[in-house]
Amino acid sequence: VSAVRRERQEWLLPREGELRRGLLAEVALELPTWKTYAFGVPAELAESVRPGARVTAPHGRSGREVEGYCLAVSEGEWDQTLTLIQSATPPAVELSAPLVELARWVGQYYQCTPGAVMSMLLPRTLGEVRPKRERIVRRTEAPIPEKASDRLRRLLEAVPREGVTLASLRESGAATDTLIRGAVRKGLLAVVQREVALTTDDSGRAEAPMSEEDGYALTEAQAVALQALSDAVAGEAFRAFLLFGVPGSGKTEVYVRAIRAAIARGRQAILLVPEIALATQVVERLARRFARVAVLHGQMSPRSRVEALARIARGEVDVVIGTRTAVYAPCCRLGLIVVDEEQEGSFKSLSSPYYHARDVALKRAQIERIPVVLGSATPALETWYNATLAGRYQLLELGTRVPGAELPRAELVVSDPDEGLSEDAYGASADSDANRGILSTRLRTALLATLKRRDQAILLHNRRGYAVALRCDTCGLPLRCPKCMSLLVLHHSDETVRCHRCSHRDRAPQRCPVEGCGGALQRGGLAIQRLEEELRRVAPDARVLRLDSDTMRTREDYQTSLRAFAEGAADVLIGTQMIAKGLDFPVVRLVGVIDADAPLYLRDFRATEFAFQLIMQVVGRAGRKAGESLAIVQMRREPPPALKAALAMDYRQFADAELAVRQRYAYPPFVRLARLVFADARPDRAADAARRAAETLRELAAAINPAVRVDPPEACAAPRLREMNRHQVLLRGPRETGVQKVLAAALTERKLPAVQRLTVDVDPMDFS
């Protein structure tokens, strides 16, 4: 084959001394580098080789065929040294020049291969989606037989000349499948398949639907913020804003109107929301405010995704609302990007490339020369730093809540000052002491009073870092996952123990499995289940609705439950941190947080920030509409100053205290971090690889940028995961690209020792 190819190539290329012009494609091959290569485009492939096209081309001395992606096509000089593209599949969605530039940046910033970035922009399934077919039932020429039954006669008369879809015939109830099949066999009906034309149905409407909210007169702070954003939209230049305001201060209203301003100028907008928002009323409410909307999320079928992307690319959609991947939406005339709840962890990808959608949004806005708005009540400290000390973003502040809504009164209860959580390397603590101290006396009293007044309450148990396991009476050890050593959680519903870290699951044992022990196992139970039990004891008549990832399997479950609560179908909503975010329950009068300080026991430099955000969010749930409300925040220990600030809902005080700590210990936003995790099932391999990698990286740093530091290698906080041992190396460097330069040198030259799984995470958020 390759001889034929070479011959063909010689025949296509100019002869020696001859000059010719032709098409050249810039191609990123699937190699661990973003160095690109130029190939000639043979005439018969000119149609297919466009930016985003998947191509194959010969690489290296051996000339082996390597796959890659076309980034750009231009006309240039062909000479004899040129090699040609061998095959090409055109992209399903056209990739604009700004998106190609964004892809290059993502690859270089997050240190991942072109293939990983491009398949994210252009999911592989795009090319493979077959057009949907529908079955059409038609009458044949055959007349209705004399002796046809009434049922058959009715069916034949129900089928119009031009035919009807099988689905609608079934739905109409005119016939059973057996009857239809019989008629087909008798030659009275025919069933044909037809391709369904791609619909563009909801792109027709032009007028934005009026919602009650369009009638609001903006508060002064809202008006000032909107003016700044509208000016920026008109300015058609890169600008970054932080819209900072407590929950309920009217940020969403400002986004909606800024997006309208962009649409009015003929531009499109992207509104990024955290994953959790999709499961709530937030997105529904937002989508109703615009006429031509596409909602993009991770659970779409490949087919509806392709359709949505195609409509976006053709400009038939004004507003794209979606989770993190929507930052890559192929908008053809983007005018504004909004990132709502920009501090949310779900904007960070969980697989390579480990990009952060907020940071990609900033880069995209810069490339497209448009404004970007980050919104939050509790900005990530990186964002706050950029909007204040570093002066990179403009700070827009919505100081107070919209008229009529009051901030709740917040109280701190230190529930059990003597009984500290026993810290555990896996971020979990085992507590043998059943239900004692779940509800402090203060919280219990307030709850009973609320119920007596027939008001609603929300109780949140912070499960993060507080999963309670089975513990042996005799040896005192908790039951651990045999695969990854994290604490197993008991599920009462089916008497199983499950690992929430890997997917290990087993029947709940009766006796301690530790060799030579066999003692009786004490049951703790899942924190949230224990809370439920405790509630039933304290307030047996209260209607309790529980909402966590164990009871809520789908988006629909979630929406149904929330709607039920909003309509007053339950008195108390209990849940994990899931219920803290983005919900709007105007009538809730009491919010209780249990173990609000649990994140502090995680091995993560953002622990205080997480705890602060959680408390702020949950306290913000109460009292969204007029009337007095109360938030009770229970902690196990006297909180550090940064957390006390949460009770006063004072973000600035928190940020000042916490930024000082970050600076002192050289953490983001003052440095840039990268985390390498070496995972391997073979004994000692991971540890060994991490140790050698740290040495190599140190040498490279010394040569490339001595400001980059390499921390000593160590076992990860979860030292075993899915039967692999895990060790990590952390790099920290100046905020400019020093860290990436060192990584690039190591990765492209393949200088790091091989392990079964190596992950490279720039700006990591997960330290498990």
* Cβ closest to ligand ADP, residue 243 vs residue 746: 243
Give alpha helix (H) positions in 424-524.
Answer: 441-452
HSE toward the beta carbon, residue 516, CA cutoff 13 A: 0
* Cβ closest to ligand ADP, residue 313 vs residue 583: 583
| Listed residue (31, 27, 34) closest to 111, CA to CA | 34
Q: Does 481 bind Zn ion (CB under 5 A)?
A: yes
Would you mind telling me the total number of residues written for the chain in this entry? 768
Return d(Cα 282, Cα 584) in angstroms, integer: 9
Q: What's the closest the beta carbon of residue 720 comes to Zn ion, in angstroms?
A: 8
Quote the tokens at residue 87.
């095959």
- Which strands form 20-29's sheet, in the order they lie side by side? 37-40, 20-29, 64-78, 54-59, 87-89
Q: What's the closest the beta carbon of residue 252 comes to ligand ADP, in angstroms?
A: 3
Cβ burial, residue 764 (10 Å; 0-12/13-18/19+): buried
Q: Does 228 bind Zn ion (CB under 5 A)?
A: no
Q: Which stretch binds Zn ion (CB under 5 A): 86-94, 220-228, 502-510, 743-751?
A: 502-510
* Cβ closest to Zn ion, residue 64 vs residue 507: 507
The interaxial angle of helices 114-121 and 97-110, nearest 10 deg, is 140
Q: Does 409 bind Zn ion (CB under 5 A)?
A: no
* Cβ closest to ligand ADP, residue 102 vs residue 402: 402
Selection from Zn ion, ligand ADP, none that 247 binds (CB < 5 to 8 A by kind) is ligand ADP
Selection from Zn ion, ligand ADP, none that 484 binds (CB < 5 to 8 A by kind) is Zn ion
Please state whether the peptide bond connecting residue 247 to the residue before it is cis, i.e. omega within 30 degrees of 0.
Answer: no
Quote the tokens at residue 391.
């002066």
Selection from ligand ADP, Zn ion, none that 502 binds (CB < 5 to 8 A by kind) is Zn ion
Q: What's the closest the beta carbon of residue 566 comes to Zn ion, in angstroms?
A: 37
Quote the tokens at residue 134.
């529908």
* Contact of 260 with 252, CB cutoff 8 Å: no
Q: Does 502 bind Zn ion (CB under 5 A)?
A: yes
Q: What's the closest the beta carbon of residue 247 comes to ligand ADP, in angstroms?
A: 4
Q: What's the closest the beta carbon of residue 251 comes to ligand ADP, in angstroms?
A: 3
Rounded to 10 degrees, the C-alpha dihedral 165/292/345/500 comes to -10
Selection from Zn ion, ligand ADP, none that 481 binds (CB < 5 to 8 A by kind) is Zn ion
SS3 of residue 329 by DSSP: coil
Q: What's the closest the beta carbon of residue 296 comes to ligand ADP, in angstroms?
A: 21
Phi-psi region of 273 (alpha: psi -120 to 50; beta: other; left: phi over 0): beta
* Cβ closest to Zn ion, residue 115 vs residue 524: 524
For Zn ion, the binding residue among 333, 483, 491, 735 (CB under 5 A) is: 483
Selection from ligand ADP, Zn ion, none that 402 binds (CB < 5 to 8 A by kind) is ligand ADP
Selection from ligand ADP, Zn ion, none that 716 binds (CB < 5 to 8 A by kind) is none
70, 224, 328, 519, 631 from 43: Cα distances, Å: 16, 56, 31, 77, 70
The neighbouring-strand residues paired with 674 are: 731, 762
* Contact of 467 with 451, CB cutoff 8 Å: no
Q: Does 484 bind Zn ion (CB under 5 A)?
A: yes
* Cβ closest to Zn ion, residue 424 vs residue 699: 424
Restricted to residues 342-401, the positions that interact with Zn ion (CB under 5 A) are none
Q: What's the closest the beta carbon of residue 639 comes to Zn ion, in angstroms?
A: 31
* Cβ closest to ligand ADP, residue 250 vs residue 668: 250
Q: What's the closest the beta carbon of residue 648 comes to ligand ADP, in angstroms?
A: 19
Return d(Cα 673, Cα 675) in angstroms, integer: 7
Q: What's the closest the beta carbon of residue 240 comes to Zn ion, in angstroms?
A: 41
* Contact of 450 with 590, CB cutoff 8 Å: yes
Selection from ligand ADP, Zn ion, none that 91 binds (CB < 5 to 8 A by kind) is none
Selection from ligand ADP, Zn ion, none that 245 binds (CB < 5 to 8 A by kind) is ligand ADP
Q: What's the closest the beta carbon of residue 399 comes to ligand ADP, in angstroms?
A: 11
Q: What's the closest the beta carbon of residue 502 comes to Zn ion, in angstroms?
A: 4
The interaxial angle of helices 97-110 and 357-368, nearest 10 deg, is 140
Q: Does 180 bind Zn ion (CB under 5 A)?
A: no
Q: What's the closest the beta carbon of residue 112 comes to ligand ADP, in angstroms?
A: 34
The interaxial angle of helices 97-110 and 738-748, nearest 10 deg, is 80
* Cβ closest to ligand ADP, residue 410 vs residue 752: 410
Q: Does 504 bind Zn ion (CB under 5 A)?
A: yes
Q: Which stretch binds Zn ion (CB under 5 A): 22-30, 99-107, 210-218, 498-506?
A: 498-506
Containing H/E element for 259? helix 251-264
Q: What's the closest the beta carbon of residue 249 comes to ligand ADP, in angstroms?
A: 4
User: Please, which residues have CB within 8 angstroms of residue 17's CB and are 6 or more apart in sequence?
Assistant: none
Return d(Cα 740, Cα 743) in angstroms, integer: 5
Selection from ligand ADP, Zn ion, none that 253 binds (CB < 5 to 8 A by kind) is ligand ADP
Quote the tokens at residue 1.
């084959």
* Cβ closest to Zn ion, residue 499 vs residue 552: 499
Selection from ligand ADP, Zn ion, none that 757 binds (CB < 5 to 8 A by kind) is none
* Cβ closest to Zn ion, residue 514 vs residue 544: 514
Binding site for ligand ADP (CB under 6 A): 213, 216, 218-219, 222, 245, 247-253, 402
Selection from Zn ion, ligand ADP, none that 504 binds (CB < 5 to 8 A by kind) is Zn ion
What is the b/e burial string over 365-385, where b = at least 16 CB atoms within 10 angstroms of the residue's CB?
bbbbebbbbbbbbbbbbbbbb
Q: What's the closest the beta carbon of residue 460 comes to ligand ADP, in angstroms?
A: 18
Q: What are phi and psi of 15, to 5 degrees?
A: -75, 165
* Cβ closest to ligand ADP, residue 250 vs residue 764: 250
For Zn ion, the binding residue among 156, 232, 428, 499 (CB under 5 A) is: 499
Residue 236 DSSP code: T
Residues that bind Zn ion (CB under 5 A): 481, 483-484, 499, 501-502, 504
